[in-house]
Amino acid sequence: MTSPPRLSLRPGEPGDLPFLRSLAPRLVASAPPWRRQDDLLAEYDVLFATALTDPEPDSAVLIACMGGQPVGFTLLYWHPQERGVFVKDLAVRADAEGQGVGRFLLEAVERWGRHQGAREIMLKTSWFNDRARAFYADLGFREDHVALVLSLDG
């Protein structure tokens, strides 16, 4: 049995926009039924383009590669007032699941956060995404807040 190719990490660049967009459907797949997935996908188009071409200070897009090909990414922000790193998004290609890519990306987030002086890493995932919640719990994340949403547009 051959082992999977080694993972490498690099910063995101504008040419990664199609790759990030290709993973957006995975990010919205577990959205609650009252969310309009088309609207969420359109928001990701803008978010990803901005993150790669005009990033906020103290933010980063990290790309995990396997065999030189991108297989996952994370978008993160430093919150100095909270001394925390906020993982806005983390996604892995379906064909790379179960190969340690998500764990690899979170280890990179931890290194990035420690370099910034972070005390904690924060993230959100859909309440309906049992798989992600179990993955994060296995890595030591604990559920903290519950977000309640009241839609005002319909």
Q: For the chain, which residues make up each domain, given as ranges?
A: 7-138
Which CATH number is associated with domain 7-138? Answer: 3.40.630.30
Residue 41, SS3? helix
The separation between the first and the last C-alpha atoms of the chain, rounded to the nearest angstrom, is 54
Tokens of 66: 């396997």
The DSSP H or E segment spanning 87 is: strand 84-92
Residue 56, SS3? coil
Confidence of residue 149 (pLDDT cuts 50, 70, 90): confident
| Residue 128 reports pLDDT greater than 60 | yes
Percent of the chain at pLDDT above 90? 70
